[in-house]
Structures are given as structure tokens and as C-alpha cells.
Structure 1
Amino acid sequence: MTRQIRRVPVAERRARLARRHRLVPGARAERPEDVAESLVALHATDPATVHLSAAARLRDPAVAAVERALYTDRTLVRMIGMRRTMFVVPTPVAPVVQAACAGDIARAQRRQLARDLTAQGHPEPVPDADRWLAEVLDETAAALERRGSAMPKDLTEDVPRLRQQLHMARGKPYAAIGYVTTRVLNVLSMEGRIVRGRPRGTWLSSQYEWHATGAWLRGGLPALDPHAARVELARRWLAAFGPAPVEDLRWWTGWTVATTKKALADLGPVEVDLDGIPGLVLADDLDPVPEPDPWVALLPSLDPTPMGWAGRDWFLGPHRAALFDRNGNVGPTVWCDGRIVGGWAQRPDGEIAVRLLEDVGAEAEAAVAAEADRWRRWFGDVRVVPRFPSPLQRELVS
């Protein structure tokens, strides 16, 4: 007997997105932790994105609430995870991300740094770079334990070898000489040994104090079985972003094809038909989802919703060239009923400039204008410049 494969049309995928990503008013969250849990992780390469993604989904958005979760309650933690990208994740999810993604990335980055020390060390190559790097990593972690917290410059006083230089891209027009300090700290963080704390400056700053993980997070990061962690991460992603093709999960996590297949084999999702494209959904998530009332949203650059899938045509349409940069980073976007319909930008005078790229009708256009005014009032005197502006965002502020 032929098994009937359930069809999930684009309209239902958009309805799931609206509710599960907390973009409709009735689904908005009480706490930043709830927002991060709903999306698995918040993009944090640009520190402003964390606050703006939360603000778009909170009933009572406030920078102070996000800072409380990050730095006082420590129920959210900033870490490098999937695709060697910075995220903010719920603290209980941090061990999952560590075992499923960050550990493998740390090993690769540690090997690469040792190779660069051997080949690009300045003024001379570093002999026995593996041993040298292991010693510097341990010395840096120990220095941070003694200090309790420190900025990178403080740690170079305790560990002079952090001032070791690399001459990268020697002979090229873009050649540069720099210290290994940041790369050593990143490897330690990807190994789960240290963690970024409060930034030096405002919530827009990316200069963080460093802390030993065990001191910042009670009990540190429990060690999980990597395969079990990958199964759990795949489950969380499908709950937030499914149904979706396998390739979207593989892209989002940065896993190999084999690793992705192995995780899914133990998870046991169900195959569905995404309008002619094979997709997967959790076995207990097959019930139809009704369409919500009409809605609009203004989401920031690098928001986890548009960055959640590799295949975006079903919500992005023909607008990729205007709203994504050449490296695949999304700029600020305007959403209407589950699809991207335009972009926006904050101008130097505080105005929220919007450009719709398709006709959405008078009612939706008025709702977008009201949402833009809400953002204007929320920003107040604060000015935020996306670190990865889209072509449209550049046009709107020029």
C-alpha cells in the first residue's frame, strides 16, 4: 500500500512562521528567553540584532530586559555556534550547541591557527606550533580564572605570548600583520572554556569582557554526547523552522551531509511535500496550522527568521538582490503575511524609512507605516547602523 505523503503548501509554512516566530501580535512573548527558545538562537554577529530581534517579538520590548537575561540572570548566553557564527542562545541550549557544532569548529580553528603560526608567524615562524598553542591556551584560561574577568588587553599583560604576530596574505594587496589574541580567545570560547560577558560600552558595542565559563555559568557547560546533541539540535530546528528540506538544516547547522543524515535517522522526522519539494517535519507536528489574521513586521538585519533557511524563495520572492549583501547577510526587512515585501532603514534624524517592493494594498501599507512609527518611538535618540547593510538599506539612508 502506498503511503500518503502530506502536502504542506506555502500558505501553511507562512502561517507556521508567523506563530512560531512570534511575529503576530497574539504570539508575542513575555521574556527575551521565550523569544530565543522559539527561534533556537538569535543571531549576534551584530550585537544590535539581538535586541532588535527580541524587540520585534516582545509584548513589552526593552533593552533592559535583554541585558538582564544576558548579564544578570544569565539565562541567555552569547557563543559561537552554527556555521562559526555568533549567536545568543538560552543557557540550557548552550551545551547542545557546544557539543553539536562548536566543538568541531574549535578543533578545526585550533588546527588552522597552528598552521598559520608555522607558516605566517611574524617576524619568524613559531616552532612546534601545536605545543606552543596548547600552552598559550592553557595560560590564557588560567590568567582569566585568576582575574575573574578581563578585556583582551588585560590578558596580554599576563600572557605576553598573546602578542605573537601573524603576517597573513603576505605579498597580497590586502596583507596584514596582527596579533593572535582574538583568535586564541575565540578558540577558547569555541572549546567552551571561556565566555563573553557584558560589553564595554552600550548595547551596540562588541568589545566584551571575558569570563571563565564555570564562573559565569553555574556548573559551566555540561559535556553532552555529540551525536545526541545533534539529534536534539535538529529537533529544535525542525520545531521552529520545519517543515523544510534537509538542505536547509544542513546549511543552518553547518554540518556535513553525512552528519545531517545521521542525526535525522535517529530523530525520525516524517517526509512531506512542500509544493513539489521534499521536506521533513517532526512526527508529532503534522496537524494543519490555520492562517493567522493579517499581520506585518519590521525585522532587523541578520534576523533569525530570514536567516533560518537556505531556500528562501517561498517567503523572499524576487527581492534577494535588494535585501541581501554579497555574502548572504540579510538587511532590514518588511514582512506582510509571511512574506518579505520590502526593506527599511533608520535615517540619521531618527526617521524610519520604508520602501515596499510590491503592492500590499492600502490596509497593509497603513499597518507597515504604523509599525515603522512604533520602531521610531522605540529607538528614541538611539541610532543603529547595521554592520552588514543591504543595497536597499544603503539607498534609504543616502
Structure 2
Amino acid sequence: MANSGTSTAKLRAWWAHRQWLDGTRAGASPAEVLAAAGWARSVGGAAPYLGLFARAGLGRAEVDAAVAALEVHELPSARGCTYVLPAADFALGLAAGASVPEGEIASAAKHLDVTRDEVEKLCLAVTELLSEDGPMDPAAIRGAAGPAVRSLGEAGRKRGVSTTLPLALGLLQARGSIRRVPVNGRLDQQRYGYVRWDQPVRGSAAELAERYLSWAAPASVQHLRWFTGFTAATAKAALAPLDLVELPGTDLLLPVELADEFEDFTVPSEPSYALLAGIDGIHLLHRDLARLLDPADAQRPVPASRAGRSFGSESDPQTHVVVDRGRIVGCWEYDTEQREIVHQLFVPADAALRDAIARTEAFVRDELGDARGFSLDSPKSRAPKIAALRAAADA
């Protein structure tokens, strides 16, 4: 077992190793990657594609085929946030996010005079409208459901819920009764239709904690609570049946079955570079950005930001990132006009790093067309960051 002298470099390299960023998993399927390395956060951007490409060399066509075959799927899960999950985790993922629509309905009942009976009747109407064959988009559902969908007026718009339909769709998704299908089969956009589904929803807090630690350990209780949304009491109860050890001198927990492997693990001598989205699991599973930054890099200014903002002061990276054995060694964006990756590196570019950049650039250019960070990201909104990255690289 590691002692209190466990180095930052070892922890970073171990996290990268457990999350399949060590360059040894080429050819694995999307489902295999997501089961072993962790669910991929999806917000209408390129993050799932970039993560699967970096870990297993998977092209967009392979990922889209896995989505179409329901081997993987984008679902509301931990904290109600959307992640791309393997089929083996559909039930657990839905269970992890089941309470969120309930909270939204309770809020609508309190502030917008929406009743539970009204939402349940709309759920029934939506279910009767949908089939398992072809998706139906929200506008078509709203039109076909007629008066069962009610406008919530200006008060609803101010709260981000213009009609009762999103409440019903959220509840039905959490129940596994319907699923959301991307209209063109791609994960990097946010236009969806809905189809009927019959997916069980089951899984305990302890199961979710165990899955999380298989991807993210060593991790603290606070890291677990961030990912799951657990209260302190729920986290304590979820961890109680698990066989865990604590790294001496830290608050980091590790499953006992990984203890010997962690003890024997050494930091690889050769670099292993990956170009990832800022919301990739290497960061977002813990959401503790400083652990991935060397102190000098933490002081670097955030590209195109106001004075005083540095990489180390942020909760999340404001750009995509370049990592090497778990350490963030650069940042990047994709320039759609020049059809190239623009980057700022914190280390000298050796042949392996230049190759990683070139391979990712070709993947984005030829298969994705862009590398949006999230649904509202656009070449226009990204232009100041690209200009700042070019200036930093030329300095």
C-alpha cells in the first residue's frame, strides 16, 4: 500500500491508467471503454467522441453505430446530468438521476401551480403517442398532445420551463419509459426525437459508489459527492459496505482489491499524450482541477479571459486540454476556418506530442467537422480564445 509519500505524478499517472489514457486499449468497443474508464459527460459537444478516440482510437462511425445499436446511449444519470453510458449501466445510471425530475415537478408545483396529476396525465398522453420505431420531436409531440400540454406563461419562461411538456419528458426518461434519440445519430448536437422504451431502473447508492471508485479511485468522499450529488449521510451509507483503504496522510479512498496494484504501479517513463475535452473524465470525475496542474501552470492566465483569472483558479478548464500521464500539459481549440488545432503547450513539443496533435486534428477535421465544447459553443464565440492561443504560441 502506498505511504504518505505517494507522489502527485504517481496519482496522476494512475488515474490516467485507470481511465485508459495510457495508449494501451486500441480496438476496444465504445461500451468497453465506458464501462472501464467511466461514463462520458455529454452536453451537445465533442467530448464523448474525443474521449473515445483518445482511449481506443474509435472513429465517429464506430461510436454512432454503437449508439444506434443501443450498445451505448446518452441518458440523464448522475445528478440528472447527461452522460453516455454502456448498456450494462443503463439501469444504474437512470437510478442515479431519478430524483432530479421529481425535484423539478415539486418546484413547478410550488411556483407555477402545476399539479402532479396534470403531469401524470401528460405522461400517459405522451407514452400513447410514441412508438418504438421512429422518433417524434418535441414540437410534434406538443402538437399531437393538444390541450394536455399547458403553457406556463411568463412565469414559466423566467424559470426555464415554458410548458408542462419538459416536466413530463424528464419524468418519463427517468423512469426508462422513453428515450431521447439524436435526430442525425450524432452525439455532438442537441436536436432530439423521442421513442417509447422499456428500460428497468434499479441500483443502489452503494453500487454507484463502487462503480465510481472503480474509475476514479483514489478519490475522496467529497469527490464522490461531487459526481453523485449524494448528501454527506448518503455518501457515508454508500461507502460503508465497501472494502476500502485510505492512502496514509490523505483523505483519498481506494478499493482494497486495487491496493497491491496501486502499490506496485510506477509512473511510465515515456509520455502518453491525449487531446481531450475540458469536461473529460480525467478532470470531471473529481472536478478538482488543481490536482492535474503543476504549480507553475496553475498560474498561467486563461486564454481570452479577464485579468486575474488563471488555470488554477478555475473549477473547470475553459478550453480543451492536452494531458500526459494525467498532467495537463497544454490547452487547445479547433479553428474551423483554418481547419486546424490551435494550441498552447506547457512543455516542449516532442515527436510523440506532435503526432498526437496531428492525429486528433485529422480526426476532428475529417470526421467531426468541429470540436465544440458544448451545445452553444460556436466558431464565432470561440474566436477570442483561438486568437489568444495563437498569440501565446507565437510569444
Both proteins in one fold, TM over 0.5: yes
| Distance in 2 of aligned mates of 1:368 and 1:269 | 37
Q: Which moved more, 1:63-72 or 1:190-199?
A: 190-199
The offset of 1:232, in angstroms, is 1.5
Q: Are 2:172 and 1:188 aligned?
A: yes
Q: Is the 8 A contact 1:81 1:97 kept in 2?
A: yes
| Distance in 1 of aligned mates of 2:377 and 2:327 | 20
Change in Cα spacing, 1:203 to 1:47, as seen in structure 2 (3 Å) is same
The offset of 1:24, in angstroms, is 1.8
Q: Are 2:367 and 1:367 aligned?
A: no
| Distance in 1 of aligned mates of 2:182 and 2:166 | 17
Q: Which residue of 1 aligns with 2:361?
A: 376
Question: How many pairs were matched up?
Answer: 366
Q: Are 2:289 and 1:312 aligned?
A: yes
Structure 2 matches for 1:48-87, cutoff 5 A? 48-59=46-57, 61-72=58-69, 74-87=70-83
Structure 2 matches for 1:245-260, cutoff 5 A? 245-260=220-235
Change in Cα spacing, 1:198 to 1:176, as seen in structure 2 (3 Å) is closer
Change in Cα spacing, 1:327 to 1:189, as seen in structure 2 (3 Å) is farther
Q: Which residue of 2 aligns with 1:122?
A: none
| Distance in 1 of aligned mates of 2:179 and 2:109 | 22
| Distance in 2 of aligned mates of 1:96 and 1:50 | 19
Equivalent of residue 13 in structure 2, options 15, 19, 24: 15
The offset of 1:353, in angstroms, is 0.5
| 2:65 counterpart letter in structure 1 | R
Q: Which moved more, 1:386-395 or 1:309-318?
A: 386-395
The one-character-per-residue Cα deviations of 1:106-147 (angstroms, maximum 9, x if unpaired) are 3212222333431xxxxxxx5xx2211121122112221487
The offset of 1:55, in angstroms, is 1.2
Q: Which residue of 2 aligns with 1:138?
A: 124
Equivalent of residue 267 in structure 1, options 216, 224, 242: 242
| 2:319 counterpart letter in structure 1 | G
Change in Cα spacing, 1:185 to 1:277, as seen in structure 2 (3 Å) is same
Change in Cα spacing, 1:212 to 1:326, as seen in structure 2 (3 Å) is farther
| Distance in 1 of aligned mates of 2:88 and 2:143 | 34
Q: Is the 8 A contact 1:43 1:87 kept in 2?
A: yes
Q: Which residue of 1 aligns with 2:94?
A: 98
The one-character-per-residue Cα deviations of 1:185-229 (angstroms, maximum 9, x if unpaired) are 122212322111242475532112211122xxxxx22x43x5xx2
Q: Which residue of 2 aligns with 1:178?
A: 162
| Distance in 1 of aligned mates of 2:250 and 2:160 | 45
Q: What is the percentage of aligned positions where both structures have the same residue?
A: 23
| Distance in 2 of aligned mates of 1:342 and 1:393 | 18
The offset of 1:322, in angstroms, is 5.1
| Distance in 1 of aligned mates of 2:13 and 2:112 | 51
The offset of 1:355, in angstroms, is 0.5
The one-character-per-residue Cα deviations of 1:330-349 (angstroms, maximum 9, x if unpaired) are 53001123211221010022
| Distance in 2 of aligned mates of 1:177 and 1:42 | 27
Q: Is the 8 A contact 1:243 1:280 kept in 2?
A: yes
Q: Is the 8 A contact 2:21 2:325 kept in 1?
A: no
Structure 2 matches for 1:294-313, cutoff 5 A? 294-313=271-290
Equivalent of residue 253 in structure 2, options 280, 304, 317: 280
The one-character-per-residue Cα deviations of 1:9-54 (angstroms, maximum 9, x if unpaired) are 3222122122221212224452111221123211111242221211
Change in Cα spacing, 1:213 to 1:146, as seen in structure 2 (3 Å) is closer
The offset of 1:89, in angstroms, is 0.5
The offset of 1:58, in angstroms, is 1.5
Q: Are 2:240 and 1:240 aligned?
A: no
Q: Is the 8 A contact 1:347 1:397 kept in 2?
A: no
The offset of 1:314, in angstroms, is 1.8
Change in Cα spacing, 1:90 to 1:394, as seen in structure 2 (3 Å) is farther
Q: Are 2:326 and 1:353 aligned?
A: no
Q: Are 2:389 and 1:396 aligned?
A: no
Change in Cα spacing, 1:296 to 1:182, as seen in structure 2 (3 Å) is same
Change in Cα spacing, 1:30 to 1:103, as seen in structure 2 (3 Å) is same
| Distance in 2 of aligned mates of 1:176 and 1:85 | 16
Where does the alignment leave 5 or more consecutive residues of structure 1 unmatched? Answer: 119-125, 215-219
Equivalent of residue 336 in structure 1, options 319, 324, 335: 324
Q: Which secondary structure does the structure 2 equivalent of 1:286 belong to?
A: helix
Q: Which secondary structure does the structure 2 equivalent of 1:305 belong to?
A: helix
Q: Which secondary structure does the structure 2 equivalent of 1:57 belong to?
A: helix
The offset of 1:167, in angstroms, is 3.5
The offset of 1:179, in angstroms, is 2.8
TM-score, length of structure 2 as denominator length? 0.83
Change in Cα spacing, 1:325 to 1:160, as seen in structure 2 (3 Å) is farther
The one-character-per-residue Cα deviations of 1:342-391 (angstroms, maximum 9, x if unpaired) are 210100221100102x3x2453xx43332221112112351233227699
The offset of 1:6, in angstroms, is 4.0
The offset of 1:328, in angstroms, is 4.1
Q: Which secondary structure does the structure 2 equivalent of 1:244 belong to?
A: coil
Q: Which secondary structure does the structure 2 equivalent of 1:334 belong to?
A: strand
Q: Is the 8 A contact 2:22 2:325 kept in 1?
A: no
| Distance in 1 of aligned mates of 2:349 and 2:141 | 58
| Distance in 2 of aligned mates of 1:117 and 1:392 | 37
Q: Which secondary structure does the structure 1 equivalent of 2:24 belong to?
A: helix
Q: Is the 8 A contact 2:288 2:315 kept in 1?
A: no
TM-score, length of structure 1 as denominator length? 0.82
| Distance in 2 of aligned mates of 1:149 and 1:161 | 21
Change in Cα spacing, 1:234 to 1:105, as seen in structure 2 (3 Å) is same
Q: Which secondary structure does the structure 1 equivalent of 2:322 belong to?
A: strand
Q: Is the 8 A contact 1:315 1:339 kept in 2?
A: yes
The offset of 1:323, in angstroms, is 5.5
Q: Is the 8 A contact 1:18 1:337 kept in 2?
A: yes
